[in-house]
């Protein structure tokens, strides 16, 4: 189930789609007012009942040309992957810096012992 809220008028959450094919990773939301800002949230519904709603999406402005917005998990997955890659790169840089410090320290120790 997908619910929509107009962020400008602060309208109550309305059901936009009550059923979505579970294999879809993208849904096109039509009928939006151009230049208006919207938020979305969704939940799973099955024979057992309705699950908890997701966190609200960031406010999204409707594109004037297309009058719709695509909701899809791929963007979120890509953002998470990019964040993880950035963290890994930072860790690698820190490790390299630490290795350089260790080598420098060893060189200084060697020089100090050679002077004696």
Give the count of beta carbons closer than 10 Å to the beta carbon of residue 19. 8
Q: Which residues pair with 27 in a beta bridge?
A: 71
pLDDT of residue 31: 78
18-60 residue pLDDT tens: 787 878 777 777 777 787 888 888 888 888 888 888 888 777 7
| pLDDT tens track for 75-91 | 555 667 777 788 888 88
- Report CA-CA distances (Å) from 36 to 9, 65, 116: 10, 13, 76
Query: Six-digit token pair at 31?
Result: 């009928």
């Amino acid at each position: 189930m997908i619910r929509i809220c107009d962020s400008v008028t602060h309208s109550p959450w309305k059901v936009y789609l009550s059923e979505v094919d579970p294999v879809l990773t993208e849904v096109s939301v039509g009928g939006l007012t151009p230049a208006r800002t919207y938020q979305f949230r969704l939940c799973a519904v099955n024979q057992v009942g309705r699950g908890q709603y997701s966190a609200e999406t960031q406010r999204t402005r409707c594109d004037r040309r297309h009058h719709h917005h695509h909701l899809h998990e791929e963007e979120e997955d890509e953002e998470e992957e990019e964040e993880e890659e950035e963290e890994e790169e930072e860790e690698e840089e820190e490790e390299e810096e630490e290795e350089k410090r260790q080598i420098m320290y060893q060189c200084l120790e060697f020089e100090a012992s050679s002077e004696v």
